């Protein structure tokens, strides 16, 4: 396909200007000719001469021009001086109106409507690009600006809704330890003189555990706040060094389970990633797999298109249908014996970090739980 020829508003203006000039010139010539015919100037240049013998001749008027001829000549000049400027003005106005209607009116109306919509925070529309010229470029710039504003608005509202949901979940999960602490403190105040030392110590230890739990909640929320401010900085990392870090970290975390690392990056020398973000996701996923694995955890490192893939699989019971729908939501906890120590933020944090890195996270079942974390290089 050939390139679409780009139109120029300046070229269109010159074209209309030339057309207008041609009409003015043609009109001026016609007006001059019309003036001569109207005032019979061509006839006044000749006189009828009757000779002595009675013969009639038409001769060219001599240098001395009659007063009538001079008057008619002045009237013709006056006519042309009035009509030609009026004709020229009319041509300019008509050509200007046609140029405006065809080339300027529609883009200006589109931009005016777009400005009004944007000022009223209505962004669910699109800016039409009427022609490929300078005003069309301006319309296209408006459309890009509108799309960027709409994306920013959607992201802002998504964050607001996410924050509301987090706050609601946080408040809900805080209610239980706070209720326990309130009940225990009221019991101590009311029955302390009658309580045995062993009972007081037992109650104090229970209150301490719930206080620690509250502290952990606060730390978790602080970590979430910091996640929003993380800036991803990608650097070239040698595959051998990256594999070494994965192996050392996996061995250190999975002390109670068999840990195996498979690497499918033999055909490349480097990966371009933010190593701190990738390792944080890796550690969270390993810790999560460790809670549910029976005997082993397998990690596969692969590359697909422009994404680096970390695949963590365990031989546990896998995800339930409820888990598959809700596991990456904040504060969601699957049923497990360790749920009291786990606040359900692991997969949600991993999801946020993967998206910060331009990637995604997927969960599924394959002889146990399987999690794929993808990072765009």
Per-residue pLDDT band at 181 (split at 50, 70, 90):
confident
pLDDT for residue 63 is more than 70? no
pLDDT at 173: 62
What are the pLDDT digits (tens) for 255-275? 888 999 998 888 888 999 998
Per-residue pLDDT band at 50 (split at 50, 70, 90):
very low
163: tokens are 């924050």
Whether residues 171 and 250 share a domain: the answer is no
Domain that holds residue 37: 9-122
C-alpha distances (whole Å) from 231 to each of 228, 309, 350 are 9, 20, 15
Average pLDDT, the chain: 77
2 belongs to a structural domain:
no
Give strand pairing partners of 263.
301
The alpha-carbon radius of gyration of the chain (Å, integer) is 44
pLDDT at 273: 92
CA distance 353 to 359: 9
76 belongs to a structural domain:
yes
CA distance 82 to 34: 13
CA distance 309 to 299: 10
Contact 50, 56 (CB under 8 A): yes
262 phi/psi in degrees, rounded to 5: -110, 135
Whether residues 59 and 149 share a domain: the answer is no
127 belongs to a structural domain:
no
Provide the phi-psi class of 363: left if phi over 0, else alpha when psi is between -120 and 50, else beta: beta
Helix (H) or strand (E) holding 300: strand 296-304
What are the pLDDT digits (tens) for 144-159? 888 888 888 887 887 7
Per-residue pLDDT band at 53 (split at 50, 70, 90):
low
Strands 296-304 and 258-263: parallel
301 CB-near residues (< 8 Å, 6+ apart): 242, 243, 246, 261, 262, 263, 264, 265, 308, 309, 310, 311
Q: Would the pTM of this model clear 0.75, i.e. be above it? A: no
Q: What proportion of the chain, given as a percentage, has pLDDT over 70?
A: 77
What are the pLDDT digits (tens) for 113-146? 878 877 777 777 777 777 777 777 788 888 888 8
308 phi/psi in degrees, rounded to 5: -90, 130
What are the pLDDT digits (tens) for 86-106? 888 888 888 888 888 877 778
Looking at 203, 229, 255, which one is the last position of a domain? 229
pLDDT at 120: 79
CA angle 55, 61, 65 (to 5 degrees): 135
Whether residues 198 and 275 share a domain: the answer is no
Q: Nearest CA to 313 among 237, 268, 258?
A: 258
Q: Nearest CA to 44 among 64, 29, 28?
A: 64
pLDDT for residue 111 is more than 70? yes
34: tokens are 């019309």
315 belongs to a structural domain:
yes
Whether residues 240 and 222 share a domain: the answer is no
Other beta carbons within 10 angstroms of residue 12's beta carbon come to 17
348: tokens are 């949600």
Average pLDDT on 301-321 reads 90
Average pLDDT on 239-246 reads 91
pLDDT for residue 313 is more than 90? yes
**Structurally, how many domains does the chain consist of?**
3
Strands 369-376 and 360-365: antiparallel
Whether residues 253 and 365 share a domain: the answer is yes
């Amino acid at each position: 396909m050939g390139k679409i020829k780009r139109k120029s508003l300046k070229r269109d203006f010159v074209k209309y200007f030339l057309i207008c000039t041609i009409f003015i010139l043609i009109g001026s010539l016609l007006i001059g000719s019309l003036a001569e015919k109207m005032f019979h100037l061509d006839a006044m240049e000749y006189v009828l001469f009757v000779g002595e013998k009675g013969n009639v001749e038409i001769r060219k008027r001599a240098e001395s021009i009659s007063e009538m001829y001079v008057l008619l000549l002045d009237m013709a000049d006056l006519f042309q001086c009035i009509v030609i400027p009026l004709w020229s003005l009319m041509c300019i106005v008509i050509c200007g109106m046609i140029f405006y209607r065809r080339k300027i009116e529609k883009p200006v109306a589109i931009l005016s409507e777009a400005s009004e919509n944007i000022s009223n925070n209505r962004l669910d529309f699109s800016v039409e690009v009427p022609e490929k010229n300078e005003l069309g470029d301006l319309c296209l710039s408006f459309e890009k600006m509108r799309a960027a504003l709409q994306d920013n608005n959607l992201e802002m509202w998504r964050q607001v809704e996410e924050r509301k949901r987090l706050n609601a979940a946080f408040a809900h999960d805080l209610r239980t330890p706070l209720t326990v602490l309130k009940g225990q403190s009221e019991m101590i105040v009311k029955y302390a003189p009658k309580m045995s030392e062993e009972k007081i110590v037992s109650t104090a230890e229970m209150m301490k555990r719930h206080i620690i739990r509250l502290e952990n909640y606060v730390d978790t929320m602080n970590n979430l706040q910091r996640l929003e401010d993380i800036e991803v900085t990608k650097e070239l990392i040698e595959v051998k060094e990256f594999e070494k870090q994965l192996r050392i970290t996996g061995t250190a975390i999975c002390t109670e389970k068999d840990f195996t690392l498979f690497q499918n990056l033999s055909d490349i020398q480097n990966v371009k990633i933010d190593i701190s973000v990738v390792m944080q996701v890796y550690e969270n996923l390993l810790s999560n797999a460790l809670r549910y694995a029976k005997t082993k955890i397998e990690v596969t490192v692969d590359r697909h298109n422009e994404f680096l893939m970390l695949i963590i699989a365990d031989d546990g019971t896998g995800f339930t249908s409820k888990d598959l729908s809700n596991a990456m939501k904040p504060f969601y906890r699957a049923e497990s014996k360790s749920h009291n120590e786990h606040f359900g933020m692991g997969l949600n944090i991993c999801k946020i970090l993967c998206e910060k890195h331009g990637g995604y996270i997927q969960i599924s079942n394959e002889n146990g739980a399987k999690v794929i974390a993808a990072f765009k290089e």
